[in-house]
Amino acid sequence: MTHDDDKSLTEALQAAREAGRCCALATIVGTKGSTPRKVGARMIVDPEVGLVGTVGGGCGEAEVIEAAKEVLKTGVPRRVRVDLTDDFVSWSPAVCGGIMDIFLEAVDGHSPG
């Protein structure tokens, strides 16, 4: 993750807070094998704005987005395992063949106090 990625994520979280919106923060907390992003990569799912950052794109990221919607609905954090090994024999040359564990948490958009 680059400094610019961190800046974009921080700005997106600040904008959501200022607007009073809740969003979900997805953080890769573990990887095994070849994965599109590594531990520490983050993505914000903001229902009103969209995505900021990435945890790898494609079907795996779509799975994380769906789980993020549930986290936003319930407020309960969860861990999602994105298994890219099942698709390893897929026709797509973009498949990495690894596994990513991603922690999802709701970030309250209301200012403290």
| Average pLDDT of the segment spanning 91-110 | 80
CA–CA separation, 36 vs 95, rounded Å? 9
| Average pLDDT of the segment spanning 80-99 | 72
Percent of the chain residues past pLDDT 70, beyond the cut: 82
